[in-house]
């Protein structure tokens, strides 16, 4: 393939773009379902523990523990199981 002005050497074909767009759509749907399930789990955990606003948190893109929204509880860092 020919190098473009920006130095990109790969230019997806129409068929490849179609596949990429479909995969992106699937990714977004999966991600949406994932976050809805996380919110339900957090709500259940809040009801079970009585801790208002309890939530799972990320650091640098990795899930790493539990805290609460108003930061009135010290973060609990957890190792992967």
Question: Can you spell out the DSSP letters for 22-63?
Answer: HHHHHHHHHHHHHHHHHHHHHHHHHHHH--TTEEEEEETTEE
Cβ pair 76, 67 in contact under 8 A: yes
Q: What is the mean pLDDT of each run of 10 residues along the chain (81 residues)?
A: 73 97 98 97 97 93 91 87 55
Instruction: With beta carbons less than 8 A apart as the criterion, state whether 55 and 66 touch.
Output: yes
Give pLDDT, residue 22: 98
How do the domains of the chain map onto residue ranges? 14-77
pLDDT of residue 7: 87
What is the pLDDT, as a whole number, of residue 37?
A: 98
């Amino acid at each position: 393939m020919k190098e473009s002005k920006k130095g990109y050497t790969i230019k997806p074909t129409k068929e490849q773009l179609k596949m990429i767009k479909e995969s992106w759509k699937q990714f977004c749907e999966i991600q949406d379902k994932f976050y809805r399930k996380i919110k339900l789990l957090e709500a259940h955990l809040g009801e079970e523990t009585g801790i208002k606003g309890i939530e799972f948190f990320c650091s640098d893109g990795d899930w790493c523990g539990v805290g609460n929204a108003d930061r009135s509880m010290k973060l609990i860092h957890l190792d992967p199981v």
